[in-house]
Each structure stands twice: as structure tokens, then as C-alpha cells.
Amino acid sequence: QRGRGGFGGNDERENTLNQLLVEMDGFTSSTNVVVLAGTNRIDILDNALTRAGRFDRQIMVDRPDIRGRKEVFLVHMRNLNLGGETDQDDLAGRLAALTPGFVGADIANICNEAAIMAARDDKKQVELPDFEKAIDRVIGGLESHRLLDKQEKEIVAYHEAGHAVAGWNLEHADPLLKVTILPRTSGALGFAQYLPKEVSLRTEEQMMDIVCMALAGRAAEEVKFGRVTTGASDDLRRVTDMIYQMIKIYGMNERVGQLAFPKQDNGGFPDERPYSEKTAQLMDEEAKRMVDEAYQRTLGLVREKVDQVEALAQMLLKKETISHDDIVDAIGPRPHGGNEVYDQFVDTMRNKTAEPAPSA
């Protein structure tokens, strides 16, 4: 994009753009040449590129949904030895449910990592546990060999148990599949894996449940130990982003009103905010109020379900990684149920676990 606002520009970039426009204008309607281009930042392209007669037809390629991810998994599984008895369609469906938001490159990486892990264990076939380990690696990074001291491990266990219990009891939170306190090379001392419902629309109530679930780790630390640690920094960042989106983009705040101020790309120049300092101060005050209220609500939930937090934390300290069925055994079934994909996934996994081993 060419320089704006009289601040000058990048000569090399502008020369490249101008030459591209000259070359495209050199084609005639009888040349039979179609020019295709791809970008993930169409918002910063120069208007001269996207006007009629140039790149005027846009095709949006979005992230694949669960059906699309299943098809992508089937493509990348063709070159893997899964064993003759493996139902590839069923396996691809379960893996697609585990990977919301993943794109084709992520799925290719998972299949490659699963094959490497199978080879590392000297196995001739790639099995479901190999894919699950590969997904864990892509989401949380490599499993670290760092040893946590007893106090750190206990804090992480209660932190993750807080997330798990909140997600289990809040109606609109994403259903939990697995939680671990094994450190990762990414710096995370533990993480939980959820199966979010892939929806395009969320209500204010749904978003606040997600905020409360993110705050529950810190709340569990405060309830159990009477103090908090730095372990919730990423949770707080996500909460802050979501709350400001509710206020500035989705119009979900009564005092700010039905207004939307999406972030604009100004090419590196200072932000030109379409609202006053008074409105900015109001947004900050409302963001703090909403987070404080959500945290108090979360503290109340953790105190009410403290026995569940204790049970899951002790189970994590003992097993380090627990699954959906472990949580059901410890605190009972999820009171609000799950979504259709989640229920189908859990039933399938339970049926696979219950299948008798083949006789010798």
C-alpha cells in the first residue's frame, strides 16, 4: 500500500506496486490470461489493486469446519500405515473433533508428528495415541523434562483443577476433554484441552461464562492458598481481549452503548481513534468492572465446588494427566451436558475403550 498522510512512503514497495499495475493493465480482453493472487491481509492492499478490472473478484477461503478437517485428515492419512483393521473414516472424524480452528498445514503437521512418534516407539503402525500426542505437541509444545518442585506442582494442579471445575459447571463453557500438569517447552506448566462448539454467534451470557472459566485457575489458587501467582498471565490476557471486544466491537455494554470501534490498521501511523478520551476512560472503567464482577462470580463458584476442585487436584497430582472419564468418575457427569459433537466423540471413545481385545 502506498504511503498516506504526507509522511512519505517506502519507495521500493511503491515502485513494485506501480510496476504490477502497469503489467496488469497491459493485458487485453483477448489475452486469455487470468491473474490470481492470495493474501491473508486484504485490508492493507492498495485500493488501486482491488478496483474493478484488476483483483476485483474475491474468494474467501476460511478455516475448515469439522467436516472439512475430517476430509483433510483423510488426505494426509493416505501415506500412513494405520493397520488394516483401522476405520480411517472414524479415526479422521475423532481427530477432526479434537482440532477446532486448525488449518490444513496444522493437520499435515499433526499427521507427520504422529508418524514420527510411532517410529520413535519402534511401532509399525500409527495409532490413535500417537495422533493424540501429536495434537498435544502442536497445542502446547513438546513435553518438557523440567521437574517441578512439590509446591509448584501443587499450585499448577489446583490451577488446572479450577479451570476444569468451572468449565464442567458453567452451562456455556466449552466441554473439557483432558487436562494435564506436565510442563511443556512452550513455557506452560499445564494445559487443558476442550471441545468448543463451532458457532458463528455468541451471546453475552455465553462469553461471560468463557471469561469466568479463564479466571477460574487464578480463583482456585486464591481459595486454596490465599494468594495468587504469575501462572494466570495468559488467562488474564485472553480475558482482557474478550472483554474489550465485548465493549468496543460487539456493543455488549450498556454504558458505552450500541457502538462498534473495530481496530483499524493505519500502516504503522499513530492510531486515529474515532472516540474521545472520555469514551476511552469509560471503556477502561467498564472493562475493569466487568472483569471484577466475573472474578467474584468465579470465586463464588470455586468456593461452592471446592470439594470438586480438591478431588480433581489430588487426581492430577497422582496421575498428572486425566481424561473426560476420569473427571466423570471423580465429580460426576457434566450437569449441563455437552454439544452434539462432544457427546458423539465421548460415546465413540468410550465404545472404543470398551471393545474387547482380540483373542490370541
Active site residues: 160
CB contact at 8 A, 167 and 174: yes
Residue 123 has a CB neighbour count (10 Å cut-off) of 15
Cα(111)–Cα(135) distance, integer angstroms: 9
Cell reading at 130: 500417537
CB contact at 8 A, 125 and 91: no
Residue found by looking up cell 489493486 in the block? 49
Alpha-carbon distances of 44 from 17, 26, 109, 136, rounded to whole Å: 13, 24, 29, 34
Beta bridge partners of 321: 180
Provide φ and ψ at 316, rounded to 5°. Answer: -65, -40
230's CB contacts (< 8 A; 6+ apart) are none
Q: Would you say the C-alpha torsion 241, 247, 252, 255 has a positive or negative sign? A: positive
H helices within 99-127, ranges in order?
A: 104-120
Provide φ and ψ at 178, rounded to 5°. Answer: -160, 150
CB contact at 8 A, 219 and 205: no
134's CB contacts (< 8 A; 6+ apart) are 109, 110, 111, 113, 114, 117
Q: Is 226 left (phi over 0), alpha (psi -120 to 50) or beta?
A: left
